[in-house]
Amino acid sequence: MTTWLITGCSTGLGRAFAQAVLDRGQNVVVTARDVASVQDLADAHPDTGLAVALDVTDDAQVAAAVQAAEERFSGVDVLVNNAGYGYRAALEEGVDSDVRRLFETHVFGTVRTTKAVLPAMRARRSGTIVNLSSIGARVAPEGSGYYAAVKSAVESLTLALRKEVAPLGITAMVVEPGGFRTDFAGRSLTQSAEPIADYADTAGKRRKENDTVHGTQPGDPAKAAAALIEAVESDAPPYMLLLGNDASDSFRTALHTLLDEVDAWETLSRSTDFDD
């Protein structure tokens, strides 16, 4: 039986992922900073669910969560790095301590949990690591530069990891969701405390007090969970799984826009080598 360790399961996509995997009869280490918020999932599946307190910025808690998985289920087959939150601010508005905390959670938290499960995966020559990104990494909307930056870092790390561990029988993949009807744009969204008036028409439009998207996002978390399981269980999991029509459309638009710019500047780009 496959054992999953999923971070950030209290709400949103993380909870949907955990619920879907448990409903399929597989083992899940369900984690959250407040373990009480996920205890119901484990209680409903006493043979296959294990609730564990996990703050991905805490080395000791990461080690304890992996150890709990090994003691209860003999190890982690699939790690899903989902824990995280949003942060909106114009670049100039960003508070240094808030930005460092964002990187500590999304980037170093992902690295921390990944490094914790890799030794056992290498020993078994099997395993899957799934890192949650966002279509924001591709389109970088105004006001989301810092969030796009952490997700872009996660994607680059995952691509390198994928190449490093593929010969060892391990898969690494990125998931880029679009907008899903979760509390991401509500409780889970933070922002700079002091807006700057000059950015009112750009980053300012996406501040929580001006955001009209929350509660109307097109994505269904249950369908996202089913898609993730299908990708993980496929014979050839992708490097990147886009989730949602908005993600697919935005990705293609961003890709074509970038290619058009590469084409427009190609002559100059190719002019910088030594002349033979």
Active site residues: 133, 147, 151
Residue 125, SS3? coil
Residue 203, SS3? helix
**What are the CB-based long-range contacts (under 8 Å, 24+) for 114-123?**
114/79, 114/81, 114/161, 116/62, 116/63, 116/65, 116/66, 117/5, 117/66, 117/76, 117/79, 118/165, 118/170, 120/66, 120/70, 120/75, 120/76, 121/76, 121/165, 121/168, 121/170, 122/165, 122/168, 122/170
Judge contact between 31 and 38, C-beta under 8 A: yes
